[in-house]
């Protein structure tokens, strides 16, 4: 079902984790649909992404696109990171099954959400960046059984 690259990024995801006191953090998706991505960015004073981490609740494609997207923005400037589109992530993974294309959209949105958070916190305007559409950060987590 998945390409070798997708399987590789699913089995050995890069940059899983959290960043304490991150410069920017964004969570997108919705547990109802079965995909949630969270991206942490550590951005230096030259607006270069020094480090990036992610956490994802979702299918194989969701994990793989998160992993690939973090690889693609690492070391880039925030402006360059804006060029990492869902299409670019998908191509880098040698494609995704049609039903999984929305997963790659989520990766792009998660990066944008984290960049938005960074821009807000630091009073910076990033060209082309719009306010993220969805954020489930406030949503209640189900009670323990």
Partner 1 sequence: MKEVIYLDNAATTKTRPEVVEAMLPYFTEFYGNPSSVYEFSSQPKKAIAHARETIAKALGAKTNEIYFTNGGTESDNWALVATAEAYQNKGKHIITSKIEHHAILHTCEYLEKRGFEVTYLDVDEFGVVKLEELKKAIRPDTILISIMFANNEIGTLQPIKEIGEIAKEHGILFHTDAVQAFGHVPINVDECHIDMLSSSAHKLNGPRGVGFLYIRTGVKSRSFIHGGAQERKRRGGTENTPGIVGFGKAVEIAVETMEERTAKEKALRDHLIERVMKEIPFTRLNGHPAKRLSNNANFAFQFIEGESLLIMLDMDGICGSSGSACTSGSLDPSHVLLAIGLPHEIAHGSLRLTVNDEITMEQIDFTVDSMKRIVERLRSMSPLYEDYMRKNGKH
Binding footprint of partner 1 on the chain (CB under 8 A): 10-11, 13, 16, 18, 27, 31-38, 55-63, 99-100, 141-142, 144-145
The catalytic position among 62, 82, 103, 113 is 103
Alpha-carbon distance of 43 to 2, in angstroms, equals 33
Q: Is 11 or 83 the residue whose CB approaches partner 1 more closely? A: 11
Distance of closest approach, residue 143 Cβ to partner 1, in angstroms: 10
Alpha-carbon distance of 11 to 5, in angstroms, equals 10
Alpha-carbon distance of 84 to 62, in angstroms, equals 16
**Does the active-site annotation cover 59?**
no
Q: Which residues pair with 39 in a beta bridge?
A: 26, 54
**Does the active-site annotation cover 33?**
yes
Distance of closest approach, residue 58 Cβ to partner 1, in angstroms: 5
Alpha-carbon distance values, 79 to 18, 93, 107 (Å):
23, 22, 17
The catalytic position among 33, 34, 50, 91 is 33
Distance of closest approach, residue 6 Cβ to partner 1, in angstroms: 10
Nearest one of 75, 69, 74, 115 to 96, comparing CA atoms: 69
Q: Is 13 or 132 the residue whose CB approaches partner 1 more closely? A: 13
Q: Are 32 and 120 in contact (CB under 8 A)?
A: no
Q: Is 7 or 88 the residue whose CB approaches partner 1 more closely? A: 7
Q: Is 55 or 76 the residue whose CB approaches partner 1 more closely? A: 55
Distance of closest approach, residue 13 Cβ to partner 1, in angstroms: 7
DSSP state of 41: E
Known catalytic residues are 33, 103
């Amino acid at each position: 079902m998945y390409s070798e690259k997708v399987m590789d990024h699913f089995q050995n995801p890069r940059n899983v984790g959290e960043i304490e006191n991150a410069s920017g953090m964004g969570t997108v998706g919705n547990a109802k649909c079965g995909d949630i991505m969270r991206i942490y960015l550590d951005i230096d004073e030259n607006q270069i992404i020094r480090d990036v981490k992610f956490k994802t609740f979702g299918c194989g494609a969701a994990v793989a696109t998160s992993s690939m997207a973090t690889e693609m923005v690492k070391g880039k400037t925030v402006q360059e990171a804006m060029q990492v589109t869902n299409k670019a992530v998908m191509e880098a993974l040698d494609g995704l099954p049609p039903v999984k294309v929305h997963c790659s959209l989520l990766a792009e949105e998660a990066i944008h959400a984290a960049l938005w958070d960074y821009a807000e916190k630091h009073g910076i305007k990033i060209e082309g960046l719009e306010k993220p559409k969805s954020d489930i950060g406030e949503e209640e987590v189900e009670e323990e059984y």
